[in-house]
Amino acid sequence: MRNARVVTCLGGFAAYFIVLLARGWNGLDQIPSDPGYEYIKNQTDSGISLLDTTPYAHFDIPLVAAVASFVPIDFRGWVVTLVSSFIWSASALVVFKVLQHTTALRVRSFIGGLLLVTTPWAAQSAIGNYGNIRWPILVAAVTVISAEISHKETRVLPMTLASVATTVSNPLAPLLLIPLIIGVLTLTREHRKHLLIAATPPLVGLIANLLIADSPGYSSKVTAFWSDAGLFWISGQLFPVSMAAAGMAFATQKLREARPQRIFALYLFIIVVFIVVASYQLGGIADRYFVAPSALASIGVLILLNDFHVRRSWATKIVSALLTLVLMVPTVHWFFVFPYLRSGPSWSMQIKLARQQCSNGVIDSFRLITSDGQTMTDPISCREL
């Protein structure tokens, strides 16, 4: 039995990782233009540092940059991309295992993790970008905590691990307090200690950001759709919250008689709305803010359909088919990474050319082009080769 579980985990992880590699294949040997190469360069120039407070306290980007700093400069594009995909796959695996634990349905649970790694709106700047690994981590954490509270299990270890991982990576970690507070108000006294322990990391993180972070948000942000905003941007901003609102309407029907799965979905929909509002306040309209809401809303719909399937199998099949069609269109259309993540020359080839010029005495420093094909790094000394 234990071996079967290990095989399931490894198989699920491998499947998610392969999907991510397929999506970002053309951008594997790239340094993303945002956050760029400077995080990695600082790790090599000033020593390893795992904390940054600009514009908020976080450990995720410095950690990946620190890992990349240990390998030769030629391979750093590969490393940051593969480590980022590893974290995405691990987050999808967490979603898979949580759904399997709560529904006992392996195939549907696998699809839940797949909904994260195939999120269409991740194609612009998230897939393989070590600056955006905070969003799959948030999805996994919200799924863990919502499942624990809705099923009245409140296991302290998974909830605490989820809240810690989110707190050290995402400024929206305080949103985890929403289901935790609901749990404190609705569950019995024996569960409250676990909920309070899990609530401590995001609460501490919120206080720390208020005290030490450089800025409460991004100073420059777009708050309204521009004249030629296409379907990608409009749908990414509006579709997840619309799906969550519709899901809430269905999930709240006869709420007192609702099964735990429907409560689980309801928590996800509620948090989607809060994420959309908080993200808009933090940075306006930006593709990085589309990832978590779209994944969580889709996972919530999957859980809700599974709950309705018990009593209305024929209706569920029809709705499932329609929703699959709706989701497949953008998934196929926006599957592969966009030019922002793949337009630059390969990082390793640029290093090779720079090394040749340095060895010939032509230059004493060089600048490299990052993933968008335009943005360049700060000057890098030939000594670093």
Q: What's the rounded Cα separation, in Å, for the pair 118 and 114?
A: 6
| Gyration radius from the chain CA atoms | 22
**Omega cis (within 30) before 32:** no
In a domain, 69, yes or no: yes
Q: What's the rounded Cα separation, in Å, for the pair 210 and 311?
A: 48
What token pair was written down for 101? 């634990």
In a domain, 346, yes or no: no
Residue 152 DSSP SS3: coil
Long-range CB contacts (< 8 A, 24+ apart) of 301-305? 301/243, 301/247, 301/265, 302/99, 302/108, 302/111, 302/112, 302/115, 303/99, 303/103, 303/112, 303/261, 303/262, 303/264, 303/265, 303/268, 304/247, 304/250, 304/251, 304/261, 304/262, 304/265
E-state strands within 184-280 = none
What token pair was written down for 103? 């529904």
Quote the domain boundaries for residue 39.
2-212+230-341
In a domain, 368, yes or no: no
In a domain, 33, yes or no: yes
In a domain, 41, yes or no: yes
Nearest to 122 by CA among 336, 277, 352: 336
- The pLDDT tens digits along the chain (385 residues) read 677 788 899 999 999 999 999 999 999 999 999 999 999 999 999 889 998 888 888 999 999 999 999 999 999 999 999 999 999 999 999 999 999 998 878 888 999 999 999 999 999 999 999 999 999 999 999 999 999 999 887 899 999 999 999 999 999 999 999 999 999 888 888 888 999 999 999 999 999 888 876 555 555 788 899 988 899 999 999 999 999 999 999 888 877 767 889 999 999 999 999 999 999 998 999 999 999 999 999 999 999 888 775 555 666 666 667 667 767 778 888 999 999 999 999 999 999 999 999 999 888 999 999 999 999 999 999 998 8
In a domain, 356, yes or no: no
In a domain, 370, yes or no: no
Number of domains in the chain: 1
Nearest to 159 by CA among 200, 205, 122, 189: 200
In a domain, 39, yes or no: yes
Q: Is the pTM of this model over 0.75?
A: yes
* Residue 284 DSSP label: B
